[in-house]
Structure 1
C-alpha cells in the first residue's frame, strides 16, 4: 500500500509539474506578442521620425512631419494592438476563412465570394483621390512594418490566436482597407432581411390587413430637427450667445458578417447650437451601436495632420477617424436605415438554365469560377453568377427557399456593389474639413456605402445629413422595394442613384437641436422616401423629451442623455396590457399563482419604466411582454414566429388599442373559446412568472435585471471554446434595454433571451465651448491581446458610464504617457 501511495504521489507530482511547464510555455509564447510601447525602431517607408505617444489608456497620439508618415504610424499602431482582428476581417471579406477554420465557415466564404466585395474594393482603388491613395499606401506600409518586425524578431506571430490558427499573413494593401469599409456596409445593412420576412409573413396571414400590425409602418412625419424651444413656452426669452473666437476651441457561424434581423446597426447622435448650450459653444454626442465583441470594433487614436489634430474612433484596418473631432469640426454617425438593398426574383430559361429573363428577353448569366481552399480537406469550386440586378444568392440561405418559386433564383442589388466606391476618400476628406459647410460640400458627396446619418458641428453651426448613395427606383416599382420583385419587369429595376443634392439635410434649425436615434427622419413620397422600415420608434420619444426638457444643455446633460435607461416602450405598454388587471380581484393565498401575479402587478404599478440593473421590475416587464407577443403570434405564424424574436411595441400597441381590428390577434384561432386581450395578457404574465421562478426563484423583490441583462462581449473565435471563453469573453451586468437611449439590445433567443449583445460600443461627447473637455470611451479596451491589461480596462469604465479625456493637447499626452514608440527612418 505504501508503495502504491508513493507511485501515485509521484505520478500526481509529475502531472502537476508537466501542467505547470505547459502553462508556462503557453504563457511565454503568448506573451511574446505583447506590444512594447516604449522603444525605438528603424523602419523603411517614412520620411522622418514618427512618435507614437501612448497615454495611460494606451491611446496612441501620433506625431509626424507629414500626413503620410502619420498614416504610417497609425497603420503600425493598429497592427501592434489588433493584427489578428485586421487579418480576420480581411479574410472574411475575401471569403478565405475556411483556409484556417475548415468547413465550419465554408458557407460564409461562398456567400462572400458571390457578393464579390473584395474584387470590387480592388477596382475602387483607382477611384480614390490622390490624397487618399497616398494615405492608403502609407498606412499599408505601416502595417507591413509591424508584420516585418514580428517576423524578424520572433514576436509570437503577432497575437496568440496565430498559434491556434496557423496561416501566413499577407502584406497589407490599399484594397484591403477599402474592402473593410464594404464589410462594415454589409454588417450595417439589413433591408433585404426585412424584405424576406415581409414576404414570408404575407404568405401565411389570411388577412392582408394583419401584415400592417406585425410589421407596422412608423407613424408620423419623422423627427430630425426639434422645434424652436421658445415656441413651446410663450413669453420665455431665449438667450443668444456671441460666437466664440475660433482660437479658443444550434451551431451558428459567429464569423458570418451577415447580421440577424434587428442587429444590422443602430446608434444615437444629437447636437446643440450655441444658443442651446450653457457654455455658448456647440455640443455633439454620439454612441454608435454594434454587436458586442472582444475586442471592440473601435480603436481610439489621435493623428497630427497638416490640417491639425484629429482624435476619435478608428476601425483597425482603415486609416480614418470615423467618429471624432478635429480642432474645428466634430462628427458622429448613426445608421440611416436607408433602403439600399433590393431582392429580385429571376426566372430561369427552361430551355437553358444558364440564362435568365430580362425585359429584352433571355440573357446569359455573367459567371466566374472560384476555388475555396478548406483546411484539411479538398478545395471546393464554386460558380459565381451575376445578373443585371446583382449577384445571385444561394436559395439555401436566409430562408430564400420559402419565397423562391421553382425555376427561379434570387439576385440582390445593393449600393455597396460598386467598383467606384469613394467612401474612404469621403472619410479622409471629412477629417480635413474646417467647417460644417465644407464637410457638406466636399466630403459627403464622396460617400457611397454604408449609408449613415452624419451629424456635424463646428464652433458656430450644426447640421445633420444622410450620406451614401440613395437608389433611384421607378415610381411604378411593383413592391416599392418592400418585398422581392420580378427582376424581368423594367419598373422593378434600379435607374441609378439620386444625386447627392437629394439626400435629406438639416442645417442650423430654428430650434437649435438636431438628432437621430434610428427613427423615421422624413416623410417623402416614394421613391424619394428613404425607407419604409426604420430602426426605432421608441428611443426618439425619450430623446425629444430630454432635449426639450431644458432650455440649454451642457456636456454633462448630453452624457446624462446617453446613459438614460428609461424605456418609453414600458411606459406605453404597461398601462395598456395591464388595464384590466391592476388592483383587481381579492387577495390570494400565499404560494398560489394568483398571489404571485398580484405581487408582480403591485411592483409594476409603482415602477417608472427605468431599466435599472438593480431593480426587479425590468425583468418582470421584459419577460411579460416577451411571453405576450409569443402568445399573440404563435398560433397565426407557427414556426415563423421564431423570426420575431424581439418585442415590437407598435404591434402590441396596435393590438391593445384595436387599431383597424388588430385585437383579432388576441383570439386563439385553434381554440373554441373566444379569448380577449385581457385573457392573453393575464396568461402571458403567468407564463413569464413561471419562467422567472424556474430561472431566478420566486422571490420577486430580490430579482435583479442585471443578472439577466449581462453585456456579453464575445471573442469572435475563442468565445465558444470551453475554458478559453472564460479568459477571452467579457461579461458585465448592465442597465438599459431594447428601447432605452443607453441601448442594450437583447439576444432574444433561448436559453438567455435577455443577454445584452448589441449596444453602444463607443461613446463620445464633444464640447466646442471647451474642446479639451470632450470625452470618449469604448466598450472593451485598446488591445486585442488577452494578456494585456488594456484588453478590458476601458470596458470597466464603460460599464460604469465613465469616460476618458479626449484632448488634443500634446503636452498632456506626453505627460501622461506610458511609453513612446519612435519610428526612425532607415
Structure 2
C-alpha cells in the first residue's frame, strides 16, 4: 500500500512538473513577441534615421526627416503592437477567415467575397493622389519591415495568437489599408438592416411600422406603399438564420456606428481658445480598435486616434486645427429586388430588358474541410447578396434575388486621400475643402481652429429620383429606372454649419437636416435622446472650459429615463396602502419609491438604473410580442420614441397595450404594472431579495473581449477585460447593452476613444482609449489604460518634441540600410 502511495505521489509530481514546464515554455515563446521599445533596427525603405519615442503609456511619438519615413515608422509601430489585429482585419475584408478558423466563418467569408470590398480597395489605390500613394507605400514598407524583423530575430511570430494557427503572414500592401477603411464602413452602416426590418414589419399589415419604427420628430413623411403591394409573392413565413456568420463585421441596427462630438468657438470658451471633444463609438474588443499616436509631418505635428492598419489620425488635432467624427447616418445603402428571367436564370430584368449577370468564380479555402466554390454575381445596381444573410429570405419573392447599392463599393474611393489632406489642414475652411474627397463611411466632421468652429457631413450621398417607389426605406424593384441611383449629390449640398452664431456645434448622430425627400440625407438616424442632454449641457453655461467638456463627455444622465418614467408610471406612483414586507406588491412599491426620487443618472453603484432598464425591456416586450410574434426578437433594445407614442396615444398607438389574443381589454397602466412586476421578479431571482443592494454595474459590465482567445477556456481569463461601468444606451457616456441572452445588460458598445482638445492651451489636451496600446496579452500595456478609461480619466499628449523626449520610456531607432555605394 505504501509503495502504491509513493508511486501516486511521483506520478502527480511528474504531471505537475510537466504542467509547469509546459506553462513556462508557452510563456517563453509568447513573451518572445513582446517588442523591445528601446532598440535600434537597420531597415530597408527609409531615407534617413527615424525615432519612435514611446511614452510611459506606450504612445509612439514619431520623428523623421520626410513624411514617408514617418508613415513607415507608424506602420512599424502598429505592427509591433497590433500585428494580429491588423491581419485579422485584413482577412475579414478579404473573406479569408476560414483559412484560419475553419467552417464557422464560411458564412462571413461568403458575404465578404460577394461584396468584394477588397477588390474595390485594390482598384482604389490608383485613385489616390501622389502624396497618398507614397504614404500608403511607405506605411506598408514599415509593416513589412517589422515582419522581417520578427522572422530574422525569431521574435515569437510577432504575436502569441500566431502560435495557435499555422498560416503564414502575408506582406502588407497599400490596398490593405484602404480595405480596412471600407471595413469600418461595414461596421458603421445599418441602413440595409433597417430596410429589411421595415419591410418585414410592413408585411404584418396593420401599419405597425409607423409606431415601432417611427420617423424622427419633424415634418411628416408621405405614406409609403405596403411592401406586400410591391411584391405580392413574398412568402408570409420563412425559416430565418439565427445570426450572421461568426466574426461578421456587420453590426446589427442597434449596434451600428455612433459617437458624440461638440465644439465651442473662442467666444464661448473661458480661456479664449476653441474647444473640441470627440468620442467615437464602436463595438468593444480587446485590444481596442483605437491606437494613440503622434506624427511629426512636414506640415507640423499631428496627434490623436489611429486604427492599426491605416496611416491616418482619424480623430485628433494638429497645432492649428482639431477634428472629430460622428457617424452621419447617411442613407448610403439601397436594396433592390432583382427579377430573374424564368427561362434563363442567368439573366435579370433591367429598364432596358433582360441582361446577363456579371459573374466570377472564387474559392474559399476552409481549414480542416473541403474548399467552397462560389459564383459571384453583379447587377447594374451592385452585387447579389446571399439570401441567408440579413434575413433577406423573408422579403425576397421566390426565384428572385437581392442586390445592394452602397457607396463603400466604390472602386475609386479617395477617402484615404481626404484623410491625409485633413491631417495637413490648418483651419476649418481647409478641412471642409479636404472633406470633398471622402466617400465612405459617411461621417459628420466636427472642426475647431484657433478662430471658429464648424461641422460638415463628408462622404458620398446618393442622388435618388423623387419618384423612387420606397424612397430608399425598403427594398425596391431593381428593374424600375426611378428606383436606381442617379449618381452622387454635389458636396456643396451636404449638411454643414460653419461659424454658427451661437458659437457651438454638436452632434450625437442626431438628425442634422430637415429636408424633404430626395434631399433628406436619411430617414433613419442614430439618436433622438443624447442630443437633448448635450443641448442642455452646452446651453447651461455662457462659456465652457476643458473641464466642462470632459464633464459632458462623461455624463451618465439618461434623457430617455427622465422622459419615459413619468409617462409610463404616472398611474402607479404612490397608489394603495403599504403592502406587507416580502410580497410582490411591496417590492413594486419600493421600486417605485426609488424611481420617483431618481434623477436618471445611470450610475453603476445604484439600483435605480437596473430597475428602470429591466422595466422598460419587459414593457416593450409585452407591448410588441403579440402583434409582431417572433419578429419582436429584432427589437431587443428600448425604442424610446415607440414607448412615448404608445403612452401618449399618438395616432392611436395605445392599441399596442391591448393583448389581441385575450378577451379583456388591457390598458397601458395595466401593461406598465405587469411589466414592472415581471422585471422585479427576474431581478430578485438574479440579484437577491434586497432591492437596495442591487447595482447597475453588476449587470452593466463592459466586455472588452478578445475576439478569438476570449472564447477559449482559461485563456479568456487572461485576454478579456471586464469592468463595472456607468452609462447606458441613451447617455452621453454611452454603454450600449447587449439586449439578448441571459445577461442582456452587458455593455458591448461605446467610446473606445475619448479626446478633448483645448486651443487656449493645446498641450493640455487629453486623450484615452479603452484598453491599452498593445495587443499582446502579456504586455503591461495590454490593459494599462482601461482603469483610467473606466474612471473617466485621461492622459496628456503634447506636440512639444522636448516634452515627448523628456518623458520617454523607450526610444526605437530606425537606421536606413546602407546602399551599395556606402
Matched, 1:508 2:499: yes
Q: CA deviation at 1:220?
A: 3.0
Q: CA deviation at 1:26?
A: 0.2
Q: Which residue of structure 2 lines up, in the alignment, with residue 284 of structure 1?
A: 276
Structure 1 CA distance, aligned partners of 2:732 and 2:370? 49
Structure 2 CA distance, aligned partners of 1:798 and 1:253? 31
CA distances 1:687-713 after superposition (whole Å, capped 9, x unpaired):
000110111111110111000000000
Q: Which residue of structure 2 lines up, in the alignment, with residue 75 of structure 1?
A: 75
1:766-805 aligned within 5 A: 766-805=757-796
SS, match of residue 566 in structure 2 = helix
SS, match of residue 813 in structure 1 = helix
Structure 1 CA distance, aligned partners of 2:243 and 2:755? 36
1:373-772 aligned within 5 A: 373-441=365-433, 443-772=434-763
SS, match of residue 590 in structure 1 = coil
CA distances 1:567-600 after superposition (whole Å, capped 9, x unpaired):
0000011001111110001111111111111111
1:10-29 aligned within 5 A: 10-29=10-29
Using structure 1 for the length normalisation, give the TM-score: 0.96
Using structure 2 for the length normalisation, give the TM-score: 0.96
SS, match of residue 62 in structure 1 = strand
Q: CA deviation at 1:812?
A: 1.1
Q: Which residue of structure 2 lines up, in the alignment, with residue 107 of structure 1?
A: 107
- Residues 31/251 of structure 1: CA separation in 2 closer, same or farther (3 Å cut): farther
- Matched-pair contact (CA < 8 Å) for 2:108–2:246: no
Structure 2 CA distance, aligned partners of 1:253 and 1:415? 23
Q: Which residue of structure 2 lines up, in the alignment, with residue 816 of structure 1?
A: 807
- Matched-pair contact (CA < 8 Å) for 1:255–1:717: no
SS, match of residue 607 in structure 1 = coil
- Matched-pair contact (CA < 8 Å) for 1:271–1:283: yes
Matched, 1:303 2:295: yes
Q: CA deviation at 1:251?
A: 7.9
SS, match of residue 802 in structure 1 = coil
Structure 1 CA distance, aligned partners of 2:354 and 2:218? 44
Structure 1 CA distance, aligned partners of 2:813 and 2:246? 38
- Matched-pair contact (CA < 8 Å) for 1:221–1:521: no
SS, match of residue 425 in structure 1 = helix
Q: Which residue of structure 2 lines up, in the alignment, with residue 332 of structure 1?
A: 324
Bigger mean CA deviation after superposition, 165-174 or 304-313:
165-174
Structure 2 CA distance, aligned partners of 1:273 and 1:153? 52
Q: CA RMSD in A?
A: 0.9
Q: Which residue of structure 1 lines up, in the alignment, with residue 266 of structure 2?
A: 274
Q: For structure 2, which runs of at least 5 residues remain unmatched after alignment?
A: 221-241, 818-822
Structure 2 CA distance, aligned partners of 1:165 and 1:67? 36
Matched, 1:211 2:203: no
Q: CA deviation at 1:253?
A: 4.5
- Matched-pair contact (CA < 8 Å) for 2:244–2:390: no
Q: Which residue of structure 1 lines up, in the alignment, with residue 285 of structure 2?
A: 293
Structure 2 CA distance, aligned partners of 1:40 and 1:408? 60
Structure 2 CA distance, aligned partners of 1:45 and 1:461? 40
Matched, 1:194 2:205: no
Structure 2 CA distance, aligned partners of 1:437 and 1:516? 19
Q: CA deviation at 1:88?
A: 0.5
Aligned residues, how many? Answer: 796
Q: Which residue of structure 2 lines up, in the alignment, with residue 239 of structure 1?
A: none
Find runs of 4+ consecutive structure 1 residues off by over 3 angstroms. Answer: 250-254
Q: Which residue of structure 2 lines up, in the alignment, with residue 230 of structure 1?
A: none
Structure 1 CA distance, aligned partners of 2:244 and 2:435? 37
Q: CA deviation at 1:254?
A: 4.5
- Residues 760/221 of structure 1: CA separation in 2 closer, same or farther (3 Å cut): farther
Matched, 1:9 2:1: no
- Matched-pair contact (CA < 8 Å) for 1:98–1:106: yes
CA distances 1:146-179 after superposition (whole Å, capped 9, x unpaired):
0000001100000000000221111111111111
SS, match of residue 793 in structure 1 = coil
SS, match of residue 333 in structure 1 = strand
- Matched-pair contact (CA < 8 Å) for 1:254–1:716: no
SS, match of residue 813 in structure 2 = strand
Structure 2 CA distance, aligned partners of 1:129 and 1:185? 21
Q: CA deviation at 1:9?
A: 0.4
CA distances 1:117-152 after superposition (whole Å, capped 9, x unpaired):
111111001100000000001100000000000001
Q: CA deviation at 1:718?
A: 1.2
Structure 2 CA distance, aligned partners of 1:35 and 1:437? 41
